[in-house]
């Protein structure tokens, strides 16, 4: 018998005992189990760095202290992981997933291959609200500013149609008139980065602040990887005065389309479980997630890896998704047109 059980048996601290009674079944459930974190991208990228540093610290805050593992499930810009989480993953609280916000938005755009309702996931939170950049590999003949790119053609590597590495350059091309030739089909940012070095493409989008800091800080500081435009719900000068995509919007309808595509970056590193995770386990996972993000050891570990931590609450996430679920047919069609669909 634990000390808490003994005190409760004596009728001491009734409110505390009620809380303990709720917590103990959760601890009993997780004790000896494995909590699997699925990542919708291959190893080696920014998402991978985020989920692995989270996995190293999350278990100590989940009641019962389960073992926490990471498994990569890349495919279709993380759509494969989202569909699996919604339809196939056990809804007992032993499986969570991290994925791209762009793939999460696909049901709002009428994509039938997105077999999930974003509002029905068991939301945990987001590790950060980030800013994304587009950058080019400096080479002879490659335009060096976004203004130049409105006049001179450049070649951009992209992932699947639901990935921001594809969507962002397409939006810049179709909404703002950037002379981009977008080459899709790369598995992730690491593959596009290698393609830039080989000269297959000139640039890539979808470069999060945290990814740059953890993987390409040296190349950016040297000027070899030249950041030309940034997009997101906020602006940063972390890498110098890079113009915002919103600086180029010339009309209200352009701003509305850019807002849909880039405000979703509030969900830079989202984490969720399948629908219908038991309420007590979901509450425990949410609490553990935010306790982890506040943990000094986690923060130190994240800083060493260049992982930015700027948490987003469940309320912020569901509020944003609710707004996007109410898109007018006109804006929805323009958002699709912007991606070349």
Q: Which long-range contacts (CB under 8 A, 24 or more apart) does 213-220 make?
A: 213/238, 213/306, 213/308, 214/46, 214/49, 214/305, 214/306, 214/307, 215/45, 215/46, 215/49, 215/306, 217/306, 220/135
Q: Which secondary-structure segment (H or E) carries 15? A: helix 14-30
Whether 302 and 315 share a structural domain:
yes
pLDDT at residue 213, rounded to an integer: 83
In a shared domain, residues 111 and 182: no
Range of the domain at 78: 3-129+266-328
C-alpha radius of gyration, the chain, whole number: 22
Q: With 60 as the cut, is the pLDDT of residue 21 above it?
A: no
Domain-embedded: residue 56: yes
d(CA 3, CA 19): 14
DSSP string spanning 245-293? GGGG--SHHHHHHHHHHHHGGG-SSEEEE-TT--HHHHHHHHHHHHHHH
The last residue of one of the domains, among 208, 232, 264, is 264
- For residue 310, the domain's CATH number is 3.40.190.150
Provide the domain count of the chain: 2
Return the structure tokens found at 204.
Answer: 């890539």
* Claim to verify: residue 79 and residue 14 sit in the same structural domain: yes
Q: Identify the DSSP state of 242.
A: P
Nearest Cα neighbor of 134 from 148, 122, 120 is 148
User: Do 153 and 259 have their domain in common?
Assistant: yes
Please check the confidence at residue 158 and state whether its pLDDT lies above 90: yes
Residue 32 covered by a domain = yes
Task: Return d(Cα 137, Cα 143) in angstroms, integer.
Answer: 10
The b-or-e profile of 172-183 (16+ CB within 10 A means b, else e) is bbbbbebebebb
- For residue 5, is pLDDT > 50? no
Q: Is residue 187 predicted with pLDDT exceeding 60?
A: yes
Of all helices (H) and strands (E), which one includes residue 189? helix 189-198
Contact in structure between 46 and 193 (CB atoms under 8 Å): no
CA distance 245 to 224: 22
Residue 17 pLDDT greater than 80, yes or no = no
Q: Encode pLDDT of 266-281 as tens digits.
A: 898 999 999 999 999 9
Same domain, 179 and 166: yes
Q: Are residues 109 and 156 in the same domain?
A: no
Name the pLDDT band for 23 (thresholds 50, 70, 90). Answer: low
Among 22-31, 69-78, 200-209, 226-235, name the one with the lowest average pLDDT.
Answer: 22-31
Residues 233 and 277 in one domain: no
> Is 62 a member of any domain?
yes
In a domain, 21, yes or no: yes
* Cβ atoms of residues 204 and 182 within 8 Å: no
Contact 102/264 with Cβ under 8 angstroms? yes
Q: Within this chain, do residues 108 and 212 fall inside the same structural domain, yes or no?
A: no
Is pLDDT above 60 for 2?
no
Q: Are residue 192 and residue 233 in the same domain, yes or no?
A: yes
Higher pLDDT, 23 or 184: 184
Judgement on whether residues 301 and 243 belong to the same structural domain of the protein: no
18 in a structural domain: yes
Average pLDDT score over residue span 110-120: 95
Instruction: Calculate helix-pair angle for 296-304, 46-58, nearest 10 degrees.
Output: 160
250 within a domain of the structure (yes/no): yes
User: Quick one: 11 and 122 in the same domain?
Assistant: yes
Query: What is the mean predicted confidence (pLDDT) over 77-99?
Result: 97
CATH no. for residue 237? 3.40.190.10
Say what the pTM is: 0.77
Domain assignment present for residue 157? The answer is yes
Q: What percent of the chain has pLDDT over 70?
A: 93
Among 264, 293, 318, the domain boundary falls at 264
The residue count of the chain comes to 341
Burial class (CB in 10 A: 0-12, 13-18, 19+), 112: exposed
Domain check: are 81 and 187 in the same one?
A: no
**115 in any annotated domain:** yes
The residue out of 264, 287, 316 marking a domain boundary is 264
């Amino acid at each position: 018998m634990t000390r808490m059980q003994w005190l409760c048996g004596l009728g001491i601290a009734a409110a505390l005992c009620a809380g303990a009674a709720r917590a103990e079944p959760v601890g009993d459930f997780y004790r000896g189990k494995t909590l699997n974190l699925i990542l919708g991208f291959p190893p080696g990228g920014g998402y991978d760095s985020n989920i692995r540093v989270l996995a190293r610290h999350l278990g100590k805050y989940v009641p019962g202290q389960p073992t926490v593992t990471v498994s990569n499930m890349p495919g279709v810009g993380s759509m494969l992981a989202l569909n699996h989480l919604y339809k196939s993953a056990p809804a007992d609280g032993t499986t969570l997933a991290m994925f791209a916000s762009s793939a999460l938005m696909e049901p709002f755009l009428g994509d039938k291959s997105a077999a999930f309702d974003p509002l029905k996931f068991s939301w945990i939170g987001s590790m950060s609200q980030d800013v994304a950049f587009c950058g080019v590999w400096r080479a002879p003949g490659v335009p060096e500013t976004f203004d130049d790119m409105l006049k001179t053609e450049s070649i951009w590597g992209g992932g699947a149609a639901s990935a921001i590495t594809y969507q962002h350059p397409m939006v810049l091309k179709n909404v703002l008139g950037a002379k981009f030739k977008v080459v899709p089909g790369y598995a992730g940012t690491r593959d596009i980065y290698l393609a830039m070095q080989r000269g297959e493409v000139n640039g890539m989008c979808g470069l999060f602040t945290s990814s740059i800091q953890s993987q390409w800080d040296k190349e950016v500081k040297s000027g070899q990887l030249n950041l030309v435009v940034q997009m997101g719900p906020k602006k940063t000068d972390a890498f110098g005065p890079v113009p915002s995509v919103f600086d180029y919007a010339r009309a209200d309808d352009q701003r509305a389309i850019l807002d849909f595509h880039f405000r979703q970056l509030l969900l830079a590193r989202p984490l969720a479980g399948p629908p219908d995770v038991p309420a007590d386990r979901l509450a425990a996972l949410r609490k553990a997630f935010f306790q982890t993000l506040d943990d000094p050891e986690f923060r130190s570990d994240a800083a060493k890896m260049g992982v930015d931590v700027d948490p987003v609450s469940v309320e912020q996430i569901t509020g944003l998704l609710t707004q996007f679920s109410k898109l007018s047919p006109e804006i929805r069609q323009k958002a699709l047109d912007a991606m070349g669909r």
